[in-house]
Amino acid sequence: MNIIVVVNAEAVMFLQMLEERHGLPIYQSEGLILDAIHKNPIIVIRGATGCGKTTQVPQYILDSYIRQGRGAECNIVVTQVSDVV
């Protein structure tokens, strides 16, 4: 039995993007971050430059809302403080 898989360019780009997202250091903490967000009104996330704080955390939040069927209710504000002690 031969299986033929046809993938368009957009699907390939999407899979590459997912692979890159999963390679970011913050990916390992997705569950912990979402749990902290659900249990606390305010959280501060600190991590190395390039670990995915600004790009991935908002995406995790949006994805979580979408999985719950509440994507339209999701409003996210990201701020970057230059000096957090």
* pLDDT recorded at residue 68: 95
Tell me the per-residue pLDDT of 5-63, one tens digit each, with 9 for 90 and over. 767 888 888 889 999 999 999 999 999 999 999 999 988 888 898 899 989 999 999 99
pLDDT interval class at 83 (50, 70, 90): low
Q: Token pair for residue 27?
A: 């990916």
Are 56 and 26 in contact by the 8 Å Cβ rule? The answer is yes
pLDDT interval class at 80 (50, 70, 90): confident
**59 Cβ contact partners less than 8 Å away, ≥ 6 residues apart:** 21
| pLDDT at residue 84 greater than cutoff 70 | no
